[in-house]
Structure 1
């Protein structure tokens, strides 16, 4: 090219600095994973305490206890809801419950008697029964709903924007 020239490179635009900030911040995403864990815990708590709907939007089968006493499925004592925790690491977050029956409610199960005497228990209505097996339907309370996906995306945008000192979202330009 002849005449006058004006050259702009990555460094002049501050882009390299921005990428370096993101790369440094992305080495350990524990803080972001912790925020995502909070979103997922709140979603699970809302499903148990209020909506009784799986993350995919499908309503749970109503439990016999909830039918009998007018309560919420999976929310008798509130213990399951209060047991949900998260553990964040640099690249992931694990959300769950350590209660022995938590997995049964999430995925469903069939409990079969180990002896010919069968399973003996008392129903919510006070009736005593003896059966060979009981099937508990899945009532997924852990997962990511569409609303939670949107919230997680918003949280991630804010997190990475903070790494850039607020320059990404706000369109700040040098002058």
Structure 2
């Protein structure tokens, strides 16, 4: 006995073609990933005061605290925040295959890596939460492509 089954695979073929087209240019999804990481980096600078692994940054030195004192005796800004220029400079650039998150401020590297006289306070990097957020974004994106 011989059984022949035929099926119209047009809907699947159309989905695969659409998926293939979307996968050839990942710039939109990479830009979305950059947005997540940019936001996370700003939060790290403004509120968390920790590196991506959760390690607290070194406190400000006494000389830095003296320099940041205002006329009323308070301290201007906080760790990595003086006038907010570093935080505002955080940006990302996406391509079809990658995303870069960083700052164009000349002193950003000194904060990230430290110097002979200043401890590193790494503000760039991916936290466990960042990995989870990016994975969720990619799951949603792929599900949207497959489901269409």
**TM superposition score category, shorter chain reference:** 0.7 to 0.9
Give unmatched runs, 5+ long, in structure 1.
111-134, 168-175
Normalising to structure 2: TM-score of the pair? 0.82
**Residue 46 to residue 29, structure 1, CA distance change in 2 (3 Å):** same
How far the C-alpha of 1:107 sits from its partner, in A, is: 1.1
Higher strand share: 1
**Deviating 4+ runs (over 6 angstroms):** none
Question: Which residue does 1:155 correspond to in 2?
Answer: 137
**Tell me, what secondary structure is at the counterpart of 1:100?**
coil
Structure with higher Rg: it is 1
Conserved in 2, the CA contact under 8 Å of 1:33 and 1:91? yes
For residues 138 and 11 of structure 2, the distance between their equivalents in structure 1, rounded to whole angstroms, comes to: 24
Q: Which has the higher contact order (CA 8 A, sep 6+)?
A: 2
Equivalenced residue count is: 139
Conserved in 1, the CA contact under 8 Å of 2:76 and 2:82? no
How far the C-alpha of 1:38 sits from its partner, in A, is: 0.6
CA RMSD of aligned residues (A): 2.4
Give unmatched runs, 5+ long, in structure 2.
70-74
